Amino acid sequence: MQTDLRGRDMITTQEWAKDEIETVLDVAFELKRERATGQAHPLLRDKVLAMLFFFSSTRTRASFEAGMAQLGGHAAFIESETTQIAHGDTPKEIGDILGRYFDGMAIRQCDWEVGNQYIRDVARASRVPVLNMQCEVYHPFQALADLMTIMEKKGEPRGKTIAVSWACAASYQKPLSVPQSLILLLTRFGMNVRLVHPPEYRLMGEVLDRAQENARAHGGTLEILDDMDSGFQDADIVYPKSWGSWLTTENVDESAAIGRKYDDWICDERRMALAREDAVYMHCLPADRGIEVTDAVIDGPQSVAYDEAENRMHVQKAVMALTMR
C-alpha cells in the first residue's frame, strides 16, 4: 500500500503504479463503507476543488461536488464559456493563478488533439494536484469506478473476460477516452480484454501498444475483434458503448454516415444471452436508449450501470483524499 500520494496529478491511471491504484481502491471501498454506515469522514476540511468544464456533464460534476462536500470541503463549478478563458486566459495562467486559490483542480476538456495537452499544460503550471475529469484520450475516474464495480460484482478481476465493445449511437461523436482507459487499466489487473469494433472505430495505436504491454506484464490478454456477437460469447462482463470514428474522420456528417452502416450494433437481450448466464452489463452513461442498448437490458437484472455511476464518487473521493490532503 502506498501511503504518500500527496500532490500527485491523476491524468491517466497508466502514470500511477499498480500498488498506488490498489491504494485508491482500498480507500474507495473504505469510504463507501463509511458512508453506508453514516460515519463522517471530513478528510479535506476547508479544502476547495476547482472543477473546470469545457464540456457538459451530469455524473462527473455531481459526484465531484458531492464528494468534496462529504470530505468536508467545497467544489467550485467553473465553465470555460462564462469565464475569461473564452477570451484568452492561457493554460499556464489558469494553472498558476487558480493553483494559488484552490487545493486541487479538476478539468474536463475533450476537444480532439487539444484536451489532454491542455490538462498537462495546466498541471505543469499548477502547484496543486490536477485531476482529469475526461479528455479526448483518457477518462481515468470512469475506469477506476468500473474496476471497483467489477471487483464488487465479480470478485477477483484476474482471469475474467470483458467485452469492451463499440455500439451504435445517435447523439454525437464521443471521445475515445472510456474504451482507452478501460483497456489500459483492466489489462494491468490480469483480465482477458476483448476490444470489439468495426474497422472505422479503431483506438489510438500507442494506447493499444501500451495495453498489450500491460497484458503481457500482468498475465492478462488483449484481443481485438470486429464482430459484436463473438465479443459477447461467454463473456463475464459486457461493456458496449459508442465512441467516435476520430481516427477515420473528424467530419461530423461523414462520421454519422459511417455509424449508420452499423446500426445493428445494439446491446439487446439476444446478445446478452450469448454472454455467460451470470454476466453483467456495464455502461458509463449517458446511453442512447434504443440505439446503443435496449431498455430491457439497461433496466434489466444484469445491468450494474447505476452502481457503476455511484462508484465514480467513491473513487474520486479516494483520489482527492490521497492527493489533496
From residue 1 to residue 40, what is the string marking binding to ligand CP with x (rule CB under 6 A)? ----------------------------------------
Evaluate whether 12 touches 184 at the Cβ level (below 8 Å). Answer: yes
Q: Who contacts 270 (Cβ-Cβ below 8 Å, separation ≥6)? A: none
Whether 78 contacts 30, CB under 8 Å: no
CB closer to ligand CP, 56 vs 83: 56
Q: Does position 285 bind ligand CP by CB under 6 A?
A: yes
Q: Which is nearer to ligand CP, 56 or 90 (CB)?
A: 56
CA angle 173, 108, 182 (to 5 degrees): 65
Does 66 help bind ligand CP (rule: CB under 6 A)?
A: no
Nearest approach in angstroms of CB 227 to ligand CP is 26
Distance (Å, whole) CA 184 – CA 198:
20
Interface segment toward ligand CP; rule CB under 6 A; list 29-37, 53-61, 156-164, 265-273: 53-61
Residue 101 or 306 having the CB closest to ligand CP: 306
Query: Candidates 54-62, 80-88, 96-104, 234-242 — which segment interacts with ligand CP by CB under 6 A?
Result: 54-62
Verify binding: residue 58, ligand CP, rule CB under 6 A.
yes
Among 13, 60, 165, 245, binds ligand CP (CB under 6 A): 60
Q: Supply φ then ψ for residue 237, to 5 degrees.
A: -140, 135
**What is the nearest approach in angstroms of ligand CP to the Cβ of residue 142?**
5
Decide if residue 210 touches ligand CP (CB under 6 A).
Answer: no
The closest of 183, 167, 190 to 264, measured between CA atoms, is: 167
- Contact criterion met (CB below 8 Å) for 147 and 157: yes
CB of residue 100 to ligand CP, shortest distance in Å: 27
Does 284 engage in binding with ligand CP (CB under 6 A)?
yes
Residue (21 or 284) nearer to ligand CP, CB:
284
Q: Are 188 and 286 in contact (CB under 8 A)?
A: no
User: Which listed range, 57-65, 72-80, 92-100, 165-173, lies at the site for ligand CP (CB under 6 A)?
Assistant: 57-65
- In the complex, the smallest distance separating the C-beta of residue 56 from ligand CP, rounded to whole angstroms, is 7
Closest CB to ligand CP among residues 178, 207: 178
| Residue 57 lies near ligand CP (rule: CB under 6 A) | yes
Residues 129-188 contacting ligand CP, CB under 6 A: 134, 142
End-to-end CA distance of the chain: 17
**16/53 with CB nearer ligand CP:** 53
Report the distance separating Cα 61 and Cα 256, nearest Å. 28
Instruction: Examine residue 59 and tell whether it contacts ligand CP (CB under 6 A).
Output: yes
Q: Which is nearer to ligand CP, 192 or 303 (CB)?
A: 303
Contacts of 253 by beta carbon, 8 Å cutoff, 6+ apart: none
Give the contacts of 105 (CB within 8 A, at least 6 positions apart). 49, 50, 52, 94, 95, 98, 99, 122, 126, 128, 129, 130, 131
Cα–Cα distance between 101 and 51 in angstroms, integer? 12
DSSP assignment letter at 181: H
Binding site for ligand CP (CB under 6 A): 57-60, 134, 142, 284-285
